[in-house]
Amino acid sequence: MWWFYRKGPSGFSGASTAEEVTAGVDGQALVAVVTGASSGIGLETARVLALRGVHVVMPVRNVAAGLAVRESIVAKVPGARIDVLEMDLSSMASVRRFASEFESLNLPLNILINNAGVMTRNCTCSCDGLELHFATNHIGHFLLTNLLLENMKRTCRDSGTEGRIVNVTSSGHVMTYPEGICFDKIHDPSGLNDFIAYGQSKLANILHVYELSRIFKEEGVNISASAVHPGVIATNLFRGRSIAAAFLNSIGRIMCRSVEQGAATTCYVAMHPQVQGTSGKYFADCNVASPSLQASDPELAKKLWQFSLKTVSP
Distance CA 94, CA 144 (A): 10
Catalytic-role residue among 5, 177, 198, 268: 198
The residue extents of the domains of the chain are 2-9+24-312
Type of residue at 122: N
Residue 266's H or E segment, with its range, is: helix 264-271
Average pLDDT, the chain: 91
Residue 172 neighbours by CB distance under 10 Å = 24
Distance CA 157, CA 179 (A): 39
Cβ-based burial of 256 (10 A; exposed 0-12, middle 13-18, buried ≥19)? middle
Angle between helices 298-312 and 194-219 (to 10 degrees): 100
Of residues 14, 26, 30, 8, the one with CA closest to residue 164? 30
End-to-end Cα, the chain, rounded Å: 49
Mark whether 198 is an active-site residue.
yes
Please give the average per-residue pLDDT across 293-303, as a whole number.
Answer: 93
**Residues in a beta bridge with 59:** 85
pLDDT in tens, 55-112: 999 999 999 999 999 999 999 999 999 999 999 999 999 999 999 999 999 999 999 9
Distance CA 131, CA 82 (A): 32
For residue 32, the Cα-to-chain-centroid distance in whole angstroms is 12
Residue 4, pLDDT > 90, answer no
pLDDT in tens, 199-255: 999 999 999 999 999 999 999 999 999 999 998 775 554 444 455 445 444 445 556
Is CATH 3.50.50.60 correct for 2-9+24-312?
no
Residue 102 φ then ψ, to 5°? -65, -45
Indicate whether this model's pTM tops 0.85.
yes
Query: Does the CA dihedral 124-93-134-118 come out positive or negative?
Result: negative
Of residues 54, 99, 61, the one with CA closest to residue 79? 54
Q: Name the range with the highest mean pLDDT among 3-7, 30-34, 233-237, 288-292.
A: 30-34
Residue 312, pLDDT > 50, answer yes
CA distances from 232 to 41, 182, 256 (A): 11, 26, 5
Q: Which DSSP category does 163 fall into? A: E
